[in-house]
Amino acid sequence: MQLPKDFPLQAPDLVCFSHLRWDSVFQRPQHLMSRFARNRRVFFVEEPVFEPDLPAEAMGMRTRQVLDGLWVVTPVLRNGIEADAVEALQQTLLERWLHDQDAGYSSFWYYTPMAMGFTRALAPVTVAYDCMDELAAFKGAPRALLAEREGELFGIANVVFTGGQSLFEAKRQCHPNVHLFASSVDVAHFARARTPQPDPPEQAAIGHPRIGFAGVIDERMDLVLLETVARLRPDWQFVLVGPVAIIDPATLPRRENFHYLGPEPYTDLPAYLAGWDLAVLPFARNESTRHLSPTKTPEYLAAGRPAVATPMRDVVHPYGHKGLVRIAETAEAFVAAGALAMGEDTAESGWLVGVDAFVGGLSWERTWAGMAEALGRSEALAIDARWGASR
């Protein structure tokens, strides 16, 4: 690896390997990578897409710039390639692409341990693993292989981050340098929902009270509970904003008071939340949610929306214990908690004061700065170990 001409002033490029696509729900990876792009080149490498009848010579890395300093990179492969050959091909394409971009001097940032299959032969400056989910617990996940790859990633990582307290407790024994950085919130962005906003056209015709959810609709949601609540309160209108993933859309509850609006841009979410009477976090209690720390919790609160959640550990503490989110386990309890929340004068009760005191201490800017500092320390140590004598 050659040192750049202006070494050591130039920060290494950051190559991020993600199981989530850039254009999916705007969440932790997008918040962090867009900030890293302020002072270094960032390449966000997605999982491959497969196209039928694609000539071998047309396979490659589709690259598009989405922000100053940030490019989304998508391997485009021919449909029908043997599974065993996919990772080898990804490695070849990635190595060639890094060379073409003069991105050999780079640090790697992993969201998915599966990327080890096509990156283990490379030599980044440093390696960071941001563990935001227990991917092995997801429906259809290759559990044994993910556990094996995660163990391999722990073996080479310089620094590990977790997106919630329960994940931190699960991973801190796996690596000597693990840091808790819970997902945060852009308070100013969501606080727009506290003032009157034009109701989005897709939502304008829906009656009140509106019970809202914004996020990915997948196997982590307790759709049976939500449908039971909707049956118990047919006068409540359930507004679900977000893409359907993993599960078959045909299995979704279909009632007159269910309204699926599909994915909406992050920039527009405050306008939707402004029109809700209650926000919900109706997550199932299963392996896929055992370590879930939903980003939408502080987003709902920053928007000033009262919220009811099922008893997920990272929501019960701190939000439930602080009286910021009502916790309900059964459909009947959910109905009762929702009715109480919507009937409360949040200003008079002091709830809003408590919310503002809590979310006032949160910001993606602060979260990113702490993670960037930890990454920078790891990079400095790695650079000194590798090139210290030549500096």
* 2 falls within a domain: no
Instruction: Tell me if residue 213 falls in helix, strand or coil.
Output: strand
* 4 falls within a domain: no
Q: Residue 315: which CATH number?
A: 3.40.50.2000
Domain shared by 61 and 178, yes or no: yes
Domain shared by 251 and 282, yes or no: yes
Domain shared by 159 and 238, yes or no: no
Contact in structure between 97 and 61 (CB atoms under 8 Å): yes
Give me the domain span that covers residue 341: 187-359
Q: Strand pairing partners for 294?
A: none
Domain shared by 160 and 197, yes or no: no
* 206 falls within a domain: yes
Domain shared by 208 and 328, yes or no: yes
Give the pLDDT confidence score for residue 287 in this predicted structure: 77
CA distance 129 to 110: 5
Give the pLDDT confidence score for residue 246 in this predicted structure: 85
Domain shared by 149 and 216, yes or no: no
* 3 falls within a domain: no
* 376 falls within a domain: yes
Domain shared by 162 and 286, yes or no: no
Q: Into how many domains does the chain fold?
A: 2
Domain shared by 88 and 135, yes or no: yes
Angle at 161 between CA 279 and CA 76, to 5 degrees: 85
The first and second tokens of residue 172, run together, are: 């801190």
Domain shared by 51 and 69, yes or no: yes
Contact in structure between 299 and 190 (CB atoms under 8 Å): yes
Domain shared by 241 and 332, yes or no: yes
Could you give phi then psi for residue 236, rounded to 5 degrees? -85, 135
* 324 falls within a domain: yes
Residues 6+ apart with CB under 8 A from 45: 15, 16, 17, 18, 73, 74, 75, 94, 115
* 386 falls within a domain: yes
The residue type found at 2 is Q
The residue type found at 180 is L
* 166 falls within a domain: yes
Tens place of pLDDT for every residue, the chain, 391 residues?
Answer: 444 454 445 789 999 999 999 999 999 999 999 999 999 999 999 999 999 888 888 899 999 999 999 999 999 999 988 877 999 999 999 999 999 999 889 999 999 999 999 999 999 999 999 999 887 777 777 889 999 999 999 999 999 999 999 999 999 999 999 999 998 999 999 999 999 999 999 999 999 999 999 999 998 999 999 999 999 999 999 999 999 988 999 999 999 999 999 999 999 999 999 999 999 999 998 877 888 899 999 999 999 999 999 999 999 999 999 999 999 999 999 999 999 999 999 888 899 999 999 999 999 999 999 999 999 999 999 988 877 645 5
Domain shared by 225 and 158, yes or no: no
CA distance 33 to 38: 9
Give the pLDDT confidence score for residue 390 in this predicted structure: 52
Domain shared by 117 and 234, yes or no: no
CA distance 193 to 210: 14
